[in-house]
Amino acid sequence: MPLTPLRRVNLAHDISAQLSQAIVAGDFPAGAVLSEPMLAKRLGVSRAPVREALIELETRGMVEFDERGRSRVPSLTHDDLVDILGIRIALEPRAASLAARRADPLAFVDLEHNLDAMRAAQTPTELARLDTAFHSAIVRASGSRRLHLCWNVVEHQVDLWLAQMQSRVDALCHQLRDTTVAAHAAMFETIRSGDTLRAEELARKHLTDWLDVLPGAPVV
């Protein structure tokens, strides 16, 4: 073993991750107030790390601060989803292009594992999680820390929207499963081949295709 410890703990970071997960899991419905004492009590910690976690989540759009400083779970509308996808259409082609140029073997492993997992996935929830994870992996593969910071803003927004629109999700996911896997596989191959332009175009098309599935006004 390389014997490589280790990371001084940071409760705020763990809390942030756990809260984020709880929110997309639907534990806190849209509009719910996340009071600091309540969270601190449930988590068995003091308010300080909870506050820090909430601040981080605010920059990721997972919670909103109202005029009184209380944090709430934002309630997403259809327009919000369109807005989110519009941003992803701006960011992800760039990420795919950079990833193709960078060609990091470790990132390729991640992407390949994700593809395998998605082919084996059963539940729509699992599929949605893996879909988001695949796109996250591409952003990480880009190697740009700042692009990743931007990506954080939209990373879990679609999951949050899915949690709040639980009705239609399952049918949609099932319907799209095979096309999604195919699109991801194509993106992976293209990125691995180093074709930056085509990677960019595939990423854009993958997202606009998804957008077309939704009813409502066009994005661009």
**Is the CA virtual torsion 53, 134, 194, 197 positive or negative?**
negative
32 belongs to the binding site for DNA (CB under 7 A): no
- What tokens were used for 196? 């930056």
Pick the closer one to a copy of itself by CB: 43 or 150: 150
211 belongs to the binding site for a copy of itself (CB under 8 A): no
Element of type H or E holding 33: strand 33-34
Pick the closer one to a copy of itself by CB: 105 or 145: 145
85 belongs to the binding site for a copy of itself (CB under 8 A): no
Residue 136: helix, strand or coil by DSSP? Answer: helix
11 belongs to the binding site for DNA (CB under 7 A): yes
Which span sits near a copy of itself by CB under 8 A: 25-33, 90-98, 105-113, 208-216? 90-98
CB of 145 to DNA, least distance (A): 18
Applying the rule CB under 7 A, the residues between 60 and 99 that interact with DNA are 65, 68-71
β-bridge mates for residue 204, sequence order: none
91 belongs to the binding site for a copy of itself (CB under 8 A): yes
Count Cβ atoms within 10 A of the Cβ of residue 165 and give its class: 0-12 exposed, 13-18 middle, 19 or more buried: middle
* Closest by Cα among 84, 81, 82 to 92: 84
48 belongs to the binding site for a copy of itself (CB under 8 A): yes
DSSP notation for 85-104: HHHHHHHHHHHHHHHHHH--
* Contacting residue, 43, 103, 150, 172, with a copy of itself by CB under 8 A: 150
Q: What share of the chain is helix, strand, coil (3-state, %, to 5)?
A: 75, 5, 25
Give contact residues for a copy of itself (rule: CB under 8 A): 6-8, 10, 12, 48, 51-52, 55-56, 59-61, 67-69, 83-84, 86-87, 89-91, 93-94, 97-98, 144-147, 149-150, 152-154, 157, 196-197, 220
Positions that interact with DNA (CB under 7 A): 8-12, 33-38, 45-49, 51-52, 65, 68-71
